[in-house]
Chains A and B, each alone.
Chain A
Amino acid sequence: MGLSVSAASAILFSTFLIVFGAMFGSINMYQDKIQSAQEDNYSRALEAQATSITINSVDALNGTITVTNVGSTTLDPEKMDLLINGSIETSSISLLSIDQHPGSKLWLPGDVLVMHSDFNIIGAHIELVTECGTVTYS
């Protein structure tokens, strides 16, 4: 009788350890994953809040648009989208250059971005959208 109880107890105790391990592992994974996703989410929200761009000038004859990063985040000019008269014309951008820093891919706060569109922008309504969805119009 004593041996039976001991053996059954040993089996149940081992089971408890396995179950506890599995549950602890999955809950730990859940917390890690959610925490990481929440941090990314907050970071994106903060970045969107701190992002602001302004169109300085539009030289319609040359198709040149200059835009200043007036926010406090560094942007990627190549992830920006251009809408002309409501239609997306990002593919018409033939030049993207940071003023005084040619070749740079970092659009730092205060930097002026010079872009050239092959699309006819005379009298056009222009909209620029950053990578995080911040919009400016001219």
Chain B
Amino acid sequence: MSDSGTTQVIFFVAAIVVAGALSGVFIGLSGNMASAVENRANNFSDKLDTSIKVINDPAFMPYNDSILNVYVKNTGSISLLPTDLTVMIDGKDENSSSWTIVGGSNEWAPSIVLEIHLNIILANGDHTAKVVISNGISDSMGFRI
């Protein structure tokens, strides 16, 4: 093989290697971007499908023996996880809470009410309860004890 032929083979291999490497990088990046777009679509879609409403009677809050029961109805179109909830009373995060799904259902499906039991000491007067889902959707209600 002449010198010219060897050079051409070297150029050919180098071009294939460089083009292949660039292709790998571009395909990898596009895969990551497609995955990110899909995640964003899922998150945004879940957010749009999520809706909750605090349905307590503000004049008759069930508050006995320092236990306040807050009823939250799933008014959206997807099931929610009770563990994703944050409850705030008068703007303060209440960690000492437990919950039950009303009606004995296994999941907090649309139209189902979640009963949250908060262990809290409240003075007589006006208060605010705010319930926030991890995706930022929330509802709040003023009530009187």
Where the two chains meet, the residues of A that have a C-beta atom closer than 8 Å to any C-beta of B are: 1, 3-5, 7-9, 11-12, 14-16, 18-19, 22-23, 25-27, 29-30, 33-34, 36-38, 40-41, 44, 48, 76, 79, 81, 83, 85-88, 90-91, 125, 127, 129, 131-133, 135, 137
Contact = CB atoms under 8 A, between A and B. Distances in A.
B12 A3 contact: yes
B101 to A, nearest CB: 11
A128 to B, nearest CB: 10
Nearest to A39: B48
A90 B102 contact: yes
Given A12-B19, A81-B55, A131 B44 contact: no
Nearest to B38: A26
Interface of B: 8, 11-12, 14-16, 18-20, 22-23, 26-27, 29-31, 33-35, 37-38, 40-42, 44-45, 48-49, 51, 53, 55-57, 59-62, 69, 71, 73, 75-77, 102-103, 110-111, 113, 115
B19 A129 contact: no
Contact of B45 (A8, A15, A36, A83): A36
B115 A7 contact: no
Contacts, number: 139
A7 B9 CA distance: 12
A34 B34 contact: no
A7 B15 contact: yes
Contacts of B31: 22
B1 to A, nearest CB: 15
Contacts of B62: 86-87
Given A33-B42, A86-B61, A131-B110, 11 more contacts: A7-B12, A7-B15, A11-B19, A18-B30, A22-B27, A22-B30, A23-B37, A30-B40, A88-B115, A125-B57, A131-B75
A15 B30 CA distance: 10
B71 A41 contact: no
Contact of A25 (B34, B53, B60): B34
A12 B44 contact: no
B49 A40 contact: yes
A83 B73 CA distance: 13
Given A22-B34, A33-B42, A133-B53, A86 B60 contact: yes
Contacts of B69: 87-88
A132 B75 contact: yes
A46 B24 CA distance: 48
Contacts of A27: 37
